[in-house]
Amino acid sequence: MGFIPLFIMLGGGVLLFYLTVKNALQRKLNRQKELLFNLNSLNPALGIVVGESTDPDRVIQQLKQGDAPKGTTEKALKIIRELKVNRIQYNELLKKAPYHFVGKVAGFQPI
């Protein structure tokens, strides 16, 4: 038998790690898109395109300039906070050493 079972086990471990990290990164990206969609459906006048990266600070300025009801503005601010937290978590995860390698191989870019 020799080293073959060891190499198979090592390859399986690496593959499982790759799939787990890729799944976690993809969930963060999907959450970002979902939050942008929710923000756009809450206030379509902001002109947010879900496929593009949106600066939350710019959206806050647009909310302050617009004439939106107070309840809508507070819901939008909550969603923007979640956007910021999700973006920071995703970018920090991509900076960490083992996740950085998986991100490079899978083609993930910082938000």
d(CA 84, CA 8): 41
Would 11 be classed as within a structural domain? no
Would 71 be classed as within a structural domain? yes
- Average confidence score pLDDT of the chain: 86
Would 2 be classed as within a structural domain? no
Phi/psi class of residue 47: alpha, beta or left (left: φ > 0; alpha: ψ in -120 to 50)? left
d(CA 100, CA 90): 11
Note the pLDDT tens digit of each residue in 84-100.
Answer: 999 999 999 999 988 89
Would 5 be classed as within a structural domain? no
Tokens of 9: 């086990």
Would 66 be classed as within a structural domain? yes
Would 99 be classed as within a structural domain? yes
Orientation angle between helical segments 97-106 and 70-95, nearest 10 degrees: 100
> Quick one: pLDDT band at residue 8, thresholds 50, 70, 90?
very high
Segments forming the whole domain that contains residue 44: 23-106
Note the pLDDT tens digit of each residue in 29-70.
Answer: 999 989 988 888 887 777 776 666 677 888 788 777 777 777
Residue 17 confidence (pLDDT): 95
Please count the structural domains in the chain: 1
Beta carbons of 106 and 22 less than 8 angstroms apart: yes
Residue 50 confidence (pLDDT): 63
Would 14 be classed as within a structural domain? no
Would 6 be classed as within a structural domain? no
Provide the percentage of residues in the chain whose pLDDT is more than 90.
Answer: 51
Sequence-ordered alpha helix ranges (H) in 51-107: 56-65, 70-95, 97-106
Is 7 a residue whose pLDDT tops 70? Answer: yes
Residue 69 confidence (pLDDT): 75
Question: Measured between alpha carbons, how far is residue 45 from residues 19, 26, 94, 95 in Å?
Answer: 39, 28, 33, 35
